[in-house]
Amino acid sequence: MPDSLTRAVRWDTVVGALLIVVLLLSFGFVDGFGNALNLSFLIGNTLPIALIALPMTLLVVSGEIDLSVASTAGLSGAVMGALWNQGMTIETIIPICLLLGVVCGLINGLLVTRLGLPSLAVTIGTLAAYRGIAQIVLGSDAVTDFPTPYLDFASGRIGDTFIPYALLPFLVLLSIAVIVLHAMPFGRSLFAIGASEEAARFAGIRVKRQKLMLFTVTGFMASLTGIFWALHYASARYDNATGLELSVVAAVLLGGIDFDGGKGTLGGAIAGVFLLGALQNVMSLQDVSAQTQILVTGVLLVLSVLGPRVARQLAVARARSSG
């Protein structure tokens, strides 16, 4: 009988292997893929997905989800642009935006934990609400004249290498997330909550408090992503990062995080993120339209939910026929 652990490990390996295969094929057959500049683009464009995937993985493991992340990112960017137009310094604006993200996350968390509403419904609501506020704040303006050092940091790369500057802070955040989820008591309790919230409560785990904390951190990370997005693309607009939640959820599920909670690893999730990022990059190089790219992401999302289930059914069927 394959236990959940080995199944998750296997799925991780599958996604990791798939990532390597896609990369190798792209190196071999896609013109313009293998040069350092394109690779730095690939990584830079994937970083927003990767940044939000970190807290999203923890949320989904604990049995929750946050679909408002892209709107929080957009709101954060819009406020950043509006305050910059007011003449505030960027050093003041960034902490304000991050705090705003914390508040957005806190609102989601309170609605879920205090009122006991399902996070899927709550965050679809705030997805619309936060984006609406973003539009009120900035209207149809596009703010582009942020200070050059910040723009350079968010879009530049180290010398002629494929490594964007922004990758380095991301790697630090990734390490922290891996330690929190896989090596700390907090992470251990998230798996318990996701697998059986009631049993976790009976084991003295503070389920609500931990979920509230997760939603808050997710808001913070979404806001950080919004700031990065505005600087990376040198454009703060109210509709920044629209639809990014779709990519994040698709990537996380593709990486083997069980939608029902309780299973998965951050390694798998990040492999899923870069697999999706690589596919999007290749499609762009091949002049595949943006609409088609969204279609592919949607299909991947459905397949990633379906895949593990089909695999499980097959395993059951095999056990039955041999048993």
Interface residues with another protein (CB under 8 A)? 1, 3-5, 179, 183-185, 188-189, 191-192, 195-196, 198-206, 262-263, 323
Residue with tokens 């892209």: 70
Q: What is the DSSP letter of 88?
A: -
Q: 112-124 burial, b if ≥16 CB within 10 A, otherwise e?
A: bbeeeeebeebbe
Phi/psi of residue 10, each to 5°? -60, -45
Q: How far is the CB of 204 from another protein (least distance, A)?
A: 4
Nearer to another protein, 11 or 130 (CB): 11
Rounded (5°) CA angle 260-265-270: 110
Nearer to another protein, 87 or 204 (CB): 204
Nearer to another protein, 28 or 204 (CB): 204
Nearer to another protein, 214 or 279 (CB): 214
Rounded (5°) CA angle 232-88-102: 65
Helices 36-61 and 266-285 pack at an angle, to 10 degrees, of 140
Nearer to another protein, 133 or 212 (CB): 212
The two structure tokens encoding residue 222: 């979404």
The two structure tokens encoding residue 24: 């190798």
The DSSP annotation for 201-264 comes to HHTT--HHHHHHHHHHHHHHHHHHHHHHHHHHTT-B-TTTTTTHHHHHHHHHHHTT--TTSS--
Q: How far is the CB of 306 from another protein (least distance, A)?
A: 20
Q: How far is the CB of 312 from another protein (least distance, A)?
A: 12
Q: How far is the CB of 187 from another protein (least distance, A)?
A: 8
Nearer to another protein, 28 or 323 (CB): 323
Nearer to another protein, 91 or 198 (CB): 198
Nearer to another protein, 7 or 151 (CB): 7
The two structure tokens encoding residue 178: 């891996």
CA distance 205 to 203: 6
Q: How far is the CB of 195 from another protein (least distance, A)?
A: 5
The two structure tokens encoding residue 19: 């990532």
Q: How far is the CB of 116 from another protein (least distance, A)?
A: 14
Q: How far is the CB of 181 from another protein (least distance, A)?
A: 11
Q: How far is the CB of 305 from another protein (least distance, A)?
A: 18
Closest-CA residue to 252 (of 317, 301, 185): 301
Residue type, 67: L
Q: What is the DSSP letter of 115?
A: T
